[in-house]
Amino acid sequence: MESPNAWVYNALVRGCVHCCHPNQALLYYTHMLRNNVKPTSYSFSSLAKACTLLMDSVSGKAVHAHVWKHGFDSHVFVQTTLIEFYSILAELRDAIKVFDAMNERDVFAWTTMISAHVRNEDMNSARQLDVISWTTMMTCYTGNQRYGDVIALFHDMINNGMIPDEVTVTTVISACAHLGALELGKEVHLYLMLNGFNLDVYIGSSLVDMYAKCGNIDKSLLVFYKLQRKNLFCWNAVIDGLATHGYAEEALSMFGEMVRKGIQPNAVTFISILTACTHAGFVNEGRRWFMSMMQDYCITPQIGHYGCMVDLLSKAGLLGEALEIIRTMTFEPNSFIWGALLNGCKLHKNLEIAHIAVQNLMILEPGNSGHYSLLVNMYAEVNRWNDVVKIRKTMKDFGIEKKYPGHSWVEIDKEIHLFAASDKHHPLYGQIHLLLAELEEQLRPASNVYDMELFV
């Protein structure tokens, strides 16, 4: 081959390393440089492994210098192979320097650094980093909404003798909140108390939020009032919990108490305040707090605040005012805002504004069947069957169908069971349906007796 490129050289270097010919791998790298072929991140990860096989500290440090020279000093995978190189050569101090200089670290980087400490018999540092590694994995799962995996990982961590830190338990409590897993949340709370964790503002606010999201607002309030120190996160959590559970007056009262104690609200606080007004139908209060947020606290309304106001006005039947707010917004309304307006139109049977909302939702979410179905139902209620046929034809022409079936979950013996419409994959599917059939048989005689009593 007359002019091999970087891909060819990388394949040669990697092949030599794989076949345990590290000297040949370094030789190909020198040829690569002489031919003015610029190395890539794949080049350096293989070269670091070649130096590791050779146990050659001088060559390894030369490769490290080239990593810097060619701008790969912040590449996670390259840095991880350098950590491994230094640790195998018992140069732990250099491995730590590479690790500390990393701008971001993935699970493999943490695991490699833990192995480096273990390899060099620094067990205290290894244990400390191991907790961080577990927590990093949990954070990754949380970012991908894999909350069940977070809880499973926490149990694995405990079973492996690891002692979680405050960041770990906060992440786990948050996962329980998202799943609505009250019993699992209680178990984590008990673990905290039995192991002497300090109920600081971070763990405290997570517990307040978890109990509220899991439906136990009394326990949420109990944790909140037991906190010796409360910051804005704690206040936001309890106000949001009260608002979500429909305790609008109590949420507004809690907000007043927070302000009296000198805690300045933020944009999140006002989302909860407006949510409370929406649940209770406090239209005037909602308008007043929306204006107060801007005038008294200099907080610029965000999309969430406008969404709350549109939802509040739409549910109250003030659809024209809600539409006017949408039209005067300084940024494009999202599907939540148009959806809130559409739901208000359904509630108050306003087909004219509903049609405007659906037209915008068709642009934002062209594949969402729910908006079309809601408009179909509205036309059917007023016997406009021609319009029903038109919308259904449009849905068919564009291949719009219900892609995501409705689902729910239930917590039994600290295990989350997920159920979806028309899903037959649950391991106890057969037993569940047998039980439902049995219940139906038991209910049928009672229903017949009730019907007969109506005619006596």
Return the H-helix or E-strand segment holding 309. helix 303-315
pLDDT score, position 451: 47
Q: What is the mean pLDDT of residues 126-138?
A: 66
pLDDT score, position 452: 41
Question: Which residues neighbour 52 within 8 Å (Cβ) at sequence distance 6 or greater?
Answer: 60, 84, 85, 88, 89
pLDDT in tens, 374-402: 888 888 888 888 878 887 887 777 676 65
CATH topology of domain 1-121: 1.25.40
Give the integer Cα–Cα distance in Å for 30 and 19: 19
Closest CA to 157 of 125, 181, 191, 116: 191
Would you call 124 exposed, middle or buried from its count of C-beta atoms within 10 A (0-12, 13-18, 19+)?
exposed
pLDDT score, position 453: 44
Whether pLDDT at 164 is above 80: yes
Give the integer Cα–Cα distance in Å for 95 and 296: 53
Q: What is the mean pLDDT of residues 8-28?
A: 91
Whether pLDDT at 103 is above 90: no
Q: Which tokens is 217 given?
A: 């607002």
pLDDT score, position 116: 74
Q: At what angle do helices 123-143 and 166-179 cross, to 10 degrees?
A: 20
Lowest mean pLDDT among 12-21, 126-135, 243-252, 436-445: 126-135
Q: At what angle do helices 182-194 and 166-179 cross, to 10 degrees?
A: 160
Q: What is the DSSP letter of 43?
A: H
Give the integer Cα–Cα distance in Å for 109 and 62: 21
Lowest mean pLDDT among 70-79, 98-107, 133-142: 133-142
Q: Where are the domains of the chain?
A: 1-121, 142-229, 301-406
- Could you check whether 1-121 and 301-406 share the same CATH topology? yes
- CA distances 185 to 176, 208, 427, 449, Å, are 6, 11, 25, 44
Whether pLDDT at 22 is above 80: yes
* Among 108-117, 155-164, 351-360, 389-398, the range of highest mean pLDDT: 351-360
Q: Which tokens is 357 given?
A: 């909302």
CATH 1.20.950 fits domain 301-406: no
pLDDT in tens, 338-381: 999 999 998 998 988 998 998 898 888 877 777 778 888 888 88
Helix (H, G, I), strand (E, B) or coil at 408: strand
Do 276 and 308 meet the contact criterion of CB atoms below 8 Å apart?
Answer: no
pLDDT in tens, 224-267: 999 999 999 999 999 999 999 999 999 999 999 999 999 999 99
Beta partners for residue 409, in sequence order? 418
pLDDT score, position 428: 73
